[in-house]
Structure 1
Amino acid sequence: MNVTLAELGRVHFIGIGGAGMSGIARILLGRGVPVSGSDAKDSAGLAELRALGGQVYTGHAAENLGDAQTVVISTAIRTSNPELLAATEAGLRILHRSEALAAAMAEDTVVAVAGTHGKTTTTSMITVLLREAGLDPSFAIGATVPALGVNAASGSGGIFIAEADESDGSFLNYQPQIAVLTNAEPDHLDHYGTGEAVMQAFTDFIGLLPADGLLVACADDAGSAALAAKAAESGTRVRSYGRAPGAEVRLVRDRLEFEGQSFELRLNVPGEYNALNAAAAFAVAVELGVAAEIALAGLAKFTGAARRFELKGEIAGVRVFDDYAHHPTELRAALTAARTVAGDHRVHVLFQPHLFSRTREFAAEFAQALELADTAIVLDIFPAREDPIAGVSSELITAQTPKAELASSSEQGVTQVVSQAGAGDIILTIGAGDVTRLGADILAALELRSKELRSSELRASEQSGSEG
């Protein structure tokens, strides 16, 4: 449904506390649209929206709708939700969150970042780069970015940077001027059914570009490269990036080559995948008129996004990181980065599979990726929106690699991973579910172990002194 910003009227968000929903609400408030919303429980995010002028309720009830004219939902909202039932009965306009975001950015030059992996980081890099270049873009990102302080904001620069999520096909509601495709491979088969359907969705996304639009595509990824070649044949302007020969924005060791010039690429985030993400961000920036040197200086200021190999703390020489990876390719990339950061020390993983369907489809690939770690503890599957599937559990993964052990509980997983880590090692909590909260528990357990060790050493020293 194509709706203009002026047509929205008062907008009510069901589940306004979610990362994507709260970001869109923040943008609409910044653009003068009256916003209300509700969520199951209160949070700091809801308090921030109230401070911005939103009318936000804790708990779901039909009366929360008030005089709303438009209701925004995400895929996670059940049809039995009392507010959704009331909105349907009243005949209110009901939009998926992607449709609300499309309305918010309809008057801007839109850069939509799609791909199976790397969307959040690439969108974040582009946004930080453009802000460092003196532009004031609007943005909607799937995670909070420390350098930005938020995951979404309404800017005045006439450019909108949006993370385009393919998980439910809703990214086809956008109208980008520049489309970025970081990679393309099968995922979200619970929605699409087949890998072919996934690739068709990416094809359709590219097809949203206008005649004068630009596709920025990774030449190193087979899926992205194939889709870009197909798009070029149909007349779409394509700018490729990567290490592959012929890439227009080409990575050569730690340098970036573009239009006959070679530049040093300085990044504060590890991993080959981040070098590729940076090349994509650079390609977008120069298309928007940013000088190459200024774009590279902006990239050097990027320090990461929340839950993307995010350092949570260090105790007694053990560094604890957290990552959102929930696909085998992402898991492999995160562990490769961890091995680079750990150097000669060990990498310990606490992994939480996400979705029964994804675990069923990719159990062997998850097991293979976990072999990059020195030790791996696997938690129960985080179900998210799914009901259990008979015969599908985390044991499908642990049974296929001797590197992985199954934890009976989150508490046991924390205990196990801490017991295996020594000074200089890395512990990585990883997954798209609530495993992220265990970073604090791991740090607390490391602190307790450190205190007990110091106390033991002190007692031994005192005993040795008394015997002397």
Structure 2
Amino acid sequence: MHIFFSGIGGTAIGPLALIAKQAGYTVSGSDKQDSQYIDYLRKHGISDIHIGQSLTQIEERHRQEPIDWFVYTSALPLENPNAPELLFCKDNNIKTSKRDELLNQIISDKGLRLIAIAGTHGKTTTTAMTIWLFQQLGLPVSYSVGAKIPFGDMGHYQEGSKYFIYECDEFDRNFLAFHPHVSLLTGVTWDHHEIFPTREDYQQAFRDFIAQSTNIIMWQEDADYLNINPSKEKFIKILDSSVIRNDFQQIKLAGLYNRLDAWLAMQAVGFVAHEPDMDKLSGLMGKFPGLQRRMEQIMPNLYSDYAHTPEKIRGAMSVALEIAKETNQKLVVIYEPLTNRRQHYMLDDYGDCFAGANKLYWIPSYLAREDPSQRIIPPEELISHLPDQSFAKASERDDALKSAIRKHLDDGDMVVCMAGGGGDSLDEWIRREFKR
């Protein structure tokens, strides 16, 4: 089967293309621009990648070897419903779908059982931790994770594996395409308001996902939030963090949220691998090397984190505060919100999520998939909703901010940049301006 991936350089599509290649399918693709990740795909056997997404090039590729399946990102039909590649495939009766349908097909073809990690926050870290435990136990495993990890590719198919570990995203209701053998819920708070216009709509999507799962492991607060009770029809393990606090606090990882994510991963691996020794798994978790943009050190004392919602920020702060306390440093946060649309719903949710920081620089939101009818909320207004505004300053991403960061670093402070954007985001800016 010949599969063509549109946007093959993306963090979701690229790893799936690699999985398909490793699983024995013929793979080709295209992207708007070249990138380091596309070079990486070429070096790992996917040489048939075209830069540019014109009608001419996909016609030629289809003439050379007929395309059986066209895979596209969730954003494509929303942002460019008349994309030449998409229209060509529809006109020529070529199967088209988002990535989830293809992944389901691969899982079915290879006889794999799906371990799905879902939730508003913590799912990337928990997915990486679950993969890590499988590897440390010597268990073959296939997987897809939404961030770069130092112990493997973002996507990988391993011959002989029984399980596929998947970061199962709720955006565009993608996770409802799956019927997992085991589902982990990392934490649920209303998000993606353009897809889920009400809190109830978001909650119901997660209830539907749980109904489609054979076995579920989740936290008590999420069970309460979703009104989920133990079921006679399926296995639902509900964890109460207040009861098992002494257990997960033994995991030698910085940050309460990291330890909670680790405990969830340990429960899943213990369940499917029949490994009851939690002390053994805890020891392995203590060696977890982390992943990109999760308190990632860019240079000494300068970190980047993907935190861009109040709950994600609390998680990042729990890690940063423990590090700063251990090293006796002041903590400085640079925050770039992700999308103006989100801010209209989050105004009153930030609360004290930055509590403990000595200084907060709040810069304008990273704009993507915006509603043009909504006014842009400036940093000053967002800051005004914090209960304590004394340590916060509205800033721009400019030379003045660069100088301020440089001074904090010279003073020995710990500086954490929190941002969820992609190209030309705060994360990309600090990597460019503050090279090792």
Question: After TM superposition, is the score higher than 0.5?
Answer: yes
Counterpart of 1:330 (choices 293, 302, 312) is: 312
Deviation at 1:242, TM superposition (A): 4.5
**How far did residue 244 of structure 1 move?**
2.6
Provide, for residues 365-396 of structure 1, a one-character-per-residue CA deviation record: whole Å limited to 9, x for no partner.
Answer: 33642344211112221122225453222333
After TM superposition, give the deviation of residue 172 of structure 1 in Å.
0.7
Equivalent-residue separation in structure 1 for 2:359 and 2:16 (angstroms): 40
Alignment of 1:210-359 (within 5 A): 213-219=214-220, 222-227=221-226, 230-233=228-231, 235-245=233-243, 250-252=244-246, 255-256=247-248, 265-267=250-252, 269-288=253-272, 289-292=274-277, 293-314=279-300, 319-343=301-325, 344-359=328-343
Give the secondary-structure state (helix, strand or coil) at the position aligned to 1:321.
Answer: strand
Deviations 1:55-77 (A, max 9, x none): 11111112333221211111222
Q: Structure 1 CA distance, aligned partners of 2:372 and 2:209? A: 31
Give 1:439 deviation, angstroms.
2.9
Deviates most, 35-44 or 369-378: 369-378
Structure 2 counterpart SS, 1:112: strand
* Aligned equivalents of 2:72, 2:186: Cα separation in 1: 27
Q: Residue 198 in 1 paired to residue 202 in 2? A: yes
Tell me if the contact between 1:138 and 1:160 (Cα under 8 Å) persists in the aligned partners: yes
Number of aligned pairs?
412
Please state how far the C-alpha of 1:193 moved relative to its aligned partner. 0.1
1:57 lines up with 2:47 in the alignment: no
Question: Which residue is 2:74 aligned to?
Answer: 75
**1:453 equivalent in structure 2:** none
| Pair 397,389 (structure 1): closer, same or farther in 2 beyond 3 Å | farther
Root-mean-square deviation (CA, aligned residues, Å) is 2.1
- Structure 2 CA distance for partners of 1:225 and 1:237, relative to 1, 3 Å: farther
Quote the sequence identity (%).
25
Asked whether the equivalents of residues 332 and 359 of structure 2 are also in contact (C-alpha less than 8 Å), the reply is yes
Structure 2 length-normalised TM: 0.89
Secondary structure, aligned partner of 1:429: strand
Is the radius of gyration larger for structure 1 or structure 2? 1
Alignment match, 2:99 = 97
1:378 pairs with one of 353, 356, 362: 362
2:115 to 111, 115, 124: 111
The alpha-carbon deviation at position 406 of structure 1 amounts to 2.3
1:349–1:376 Cα contact (<8 Å) kept: yes
Q: Deviations over 1:84-105 (max 9, x none)?
A: 1222222221111122222222
Query: C-alpha displacement at 1:422, in angstroms?
Result: 4.7
Structure 1 unaligned residues grouped into runs of 5+: 1-8, 257-263, 448-468
**CA distance in structure 2 between the aligned counterparts of 1:46 and 1:290, rounded to whole angstroms:** 38
The letter of the residue matching 1:22 is G
Supply the distance in 2 between the matched residues of 1:359 and 1:234 (Cα, whole angstroms). Answer: 41
Query: How far off its partner does 1:205 sit?
Result: 0.5
For 1:435, the equivalent position in structure 2 comes to 426
Task: Indicate if the aligned counterparts of 1:348 and 1:421 stay in contact, CA closer than 8 A.
Answer: no
User: Structure 2 counterpart of 1:153, which letter?
Assistant: H
Amino acid at match of 1:37: G
Q: CA deviation at 1:402?
A: 3.8
Counterpart-to-counterpart distance in 2, 1:287 and 1:427: 39
Structure 1 residue 414 corresponds to structure 2 residue 402: yes
Is the Cα–Cα contact under 8 Å of residues 360 and 392 in structure 1 kept in the other structure?
Answer: no
Task: Name the residue aligned to 1:399.
Answer: 384
Task: Determine whether 1:34 maps to 2:20.
Answer: no
Task: List per-residue Cα deviations over 1:200-247 (Å, max 9, x = no partner).
Answer: 0110011112xxx3211113xx234454x62524632112334233xx
Picking from 176, 183, 188, the partner of 2:180 is 176
Contact 2:408 2:415 in 1 (8 A): no
Residue correspondence of structure 1 range 2-17 to structure 2 within 5 A: 9-17=1-9
Q: Cα gap change, 1:413/1:98 in structure 2, threshold over 3 Å: closer, same or farther? A: farther
- Superposed CA deviations along residues 288-333 of structure 1, whole A, max 9, x for unmatched, are 123525423431221111111111221xxxx111111111111122
Residue in structure 1 matching 2:156, options 143, 148, 153: 153
Equivalent AA in structure 1 for residue 238 of structure 2: S
Deviation per residue, 1:443-462 (Å, 9 max, x gap): 35xx8xxxxxxxxxxxxxxx
Between the aligned partners of 1:57 and 1:385, the Cα distance in structure 2 is 26
- TM score, norm. by length of structure 1: 0.83
Provide closer, same or farther for how the CA distance between residues 47 and 368 of structure 1 changes in structure 2, counting only shifts above 3 A: same
Greater mean alpha carbon deviation, residues 162-171 or residues 44-53: 44-53
Q: Aligned partners of 1:121 and 1:436: how far apart in 2?
A: 18
Name the amino acid aligned to 2:346.
F
Tell me if the contact between 2:302 and 2:409 (Cα under 8 Å) persists in the aligned partners. Answer: no
Q: Distance between the aligned counterparts of 1:432 and 1:154, measured in 2?
A: 28
- Amino acid of the residue matched to residue 308 of structure 2? H
The whole-number CA distance in structure 1 between the counterparts of 2:55 and 2:21 is 22
Aligned equivalent of 2:89, options 82, 87, 90: 87
User: Which segments of 5 or more consecutive residues in structure 2 lack a partner in the other structure?
Assistant: none
Task: Kindly indicate whether the alpha-carbon contact (under 8 Å) linking 1:30 and 1:153 is maintained by their aligned counterparts in 2.
Answer: yes
